[in-house]
Amino acid sequence: MSKKNLYFNFKIAILTIIYIIISNANVASANDLDEKSRTVLLNENGKTITLTTEQVKKGKRLFNSNCAQCHSGGGTKTNPNVGLDIKSLQSATPKRDNIEALMDYMKNPTTYDGTESIAEIHPSIKSADIFPKMRNMTDDDLFAIAGHILLQSNIASEKWGGGKIYY
């Protein structure tokens, strides 16, 4: 191998390492999160729950494989005015700022004002016949995804759900 090729390969290796470090710099692993960070609202009555590290990992994995195509970074590609940030979830009708409400939404989605079903255009348990990725989702899966969404308000920057102003 010539010196020129060796130098080129060395530069590629260094740039790859730098890219990996930068892209993972602000990513907290489930094991790094304390109980306070893993505590989210369970229901509309104000009861909270602390997610296990297994639920955190599962929620992230399921969100990334099933939801991130449209909700990358907590935004909504089809409607950039509606995000998954806590303020947007609290402003929805009904509120979607807790695990039970998000699970209900993933089973039977409605418009932001809660007046119409959007099951035919949003993946859900109700529309599993047209959205195959929802067919095998269990309540535990939905719980983990909801937990992941709510957890982002505790651990992610203001970019989570910020939509078009950040992405």
Contact yes or no for 67/153 (Cβ under 8 A): no
Distance CA(96)–CA(114), nearest Å, equals 10
Q: Is 71 labelled as part of a ligand binding site?
A: yes
* Omega cis (within 30) before 94: yes
67 is in an annotated binding site: yes
Radius of gyration for the alpha carbons in the chain, expressed in angstroms and rounded: 19
Q: Rounded CA gap, 6 and 130, in Å?
A: 52
CA 124 to each of CA 13, 88, 133: distance values in angstroms, whole numbers, following the listed order: 43, 20, 9
Between strands 48-50 and 39-41, the pairing is antiparallel
- What domains, with CATH codes, occur in the chain? 29-165 (1.10.760.10)
Provide the whole-model pTM: 0.79
Is 148 annotated in a binding site? The answer is no
Is residue 118 a known part of a binding site?
no
User: pLDDT per position in the chain (167 positions), as tens?
Assistant: 677 777 777 777 676 677 566 554 445 566 789 999 999 999 999 999 999 999 999 999 999 999 999 998 998 888 888 899 999 999 999 999 999 999 999 999 999 999 999 999 999 999 999 999 999 999 999 999 999 999 998 898 777 887 555 55
